[in-house]
Amino acid sequence: MFKNIAELVMLAEKNQKKISSMMIEQEMQVSGRSHKEVMELMGKNLDVMEQAVERGLQGVQSLSGLTGGDAVLLQRYIQQGNTLSGTLLLDAVSKAVATNEVNAAMGTICATPTAGSAGVVPGTLFAVQEKFKPSREEKIRFLFTAGAFGYVVANNASISGAAGGCQAEVGSASGMAAAAVTEMAGGTPAQCAEAMAITLKNMLGLVCDPVAGLVEVPCVKRNAMGAANALVAADMALAGVTSRIPCDEVIDAMYKIGQTMPSALRETAGGGLAATPTGRKLEEKVYGTPLHPRQ
């Protein structure tokens, strides 16, 4: 039905439907499943996401000891009532962190679009649910809207950190979340695309440099920033702010940047934060021996 964002928006506007509806119809067409079956399958993903957030907010610790407990710290800070960023934004951040801490602790999460970027979409969704009071169907539609934008990125660029850096993972996830929250807030299909574009172009060039090769440092905190980025971009789009560079061109730019990114900055733990003196010390602590020569 659609191959890029421009086609997606055009079809939604032409049929006077939401982005989520277009994605549901595409999924039905591709899979051969009924509307009920498609909604039920996505509902299972929603349940996994919610369970991961709840578990993370109770406090978890990774086997490596590199991550864990930050979601709890953030919730305690929110409860003090004196935050700089505001309750909703920090709630999204804490729930994004919670999800990725569960992932690092070998728990069950839903890749959105990858395991390493799994916190942004649910973090954003479960933070705004108190504000919008969405029904279960509306929450499932949130995921379909996010999925529509992720589908385009996956088919026209990359969602792999090894192929395109963290811009392809957390960057894509952040754009997906921004588009989805824009629709939930009453935004138009065009505004959803603007939110995606604004988000992604502000994460271009983000490298993938996991310390010790584990999806923990700096991955968990990048999901936190991805959730914050998504909410700010959604607000900008809802305010009428537009991206001077169309969404599809931003996605293409991300792909080309990823192609030119050195391998040391694409999930190999060969550069960036992983190659810092502390990064190498942590690597030795985790494995008992250095995996990379000291720089």
pLDDT band at 290 (very low <50, low <70, confident <90, very high): confident
Residue 293 is predicted with a pLDDT of 61
Residue 70 is predicted with a pLDDT of 98
Residue 294 is predicted with a pLDDT of 56
Q: List pLDDT tens digits, range 111-131.
A: 999 999 999 999 999 999 999
Q: What is the DSSP letter of 281?
A: H
Q: List pLDDT tens digits, range 119-162.
A: 999 999 999 999 999 999 999 999 999 999 999 999 999 999 99
Residue 123 is predicted with a pLDDT of 98
Tokens found for residue 216: 């923990």
**For residue 205, what are the CA distances in angstroms to 81, 164, 199?**
35, 9, 13
- For the segment 67-86, the average pLDDT, to the nearest whole number, is 97
Neighbours of 284 (CB within 10 A): 14
Q: Is the pLDDT of residue 292 over 90?
A: no
Give the residue extent of every domain in the chain: 5-287
- Closest to 192 (Cα-Cα) out of 206, 176, 173: 176
- Residue 229 to residue 7: CA distance in whole angstroms: 25
Contact 131, 88 (CB under 8 A): yes
- Residues near 152 by beta carbon (within 8 Å), at least 6 away in sequence: 2, 3, 4, 5, 8, 248, 251
Residue 269 is predicted with a pLDDT of 97
Q: Is the pLDDT of residue 82 over 90?
A: yes
Residue 256 is predicted with a pLDDT of 98
Q: What is the mean pLDDT of the chain?
A: 97
Q: List pLDDT tens digits, range 191-241.
A: 999 999 999 999 999 999 999 999 999 999 999 999 999 999 999 999 999
- For the segment 50-73, the average pLDDT, to the nearest whole number, is 98
CB-based burial, 66-89: b 16+ in 10 Å, e otherwise: bbbebbbebbeebeeeeeeeeeeb
Neighbours of 154 (CB within 10 A): 16
Question: Crossing angle of helices 19-31/172-184, nearest 10°?
Answer: 120
Helices (H), 158-246: 161-164, 166, 172-184, 189-201, 219-238
In this prediction, what percent of the chain has a pLDDT beyond 70?
A: 99
Three-class SS state of 229? helix
Q: What is the DSSP letter of 114?
A: -
CATH class belonging to 5-287: mainly alpha
Q: Is the pLDDT of residue 34 over 90?
A: yes
Tokens found for residue 60: 């978890």
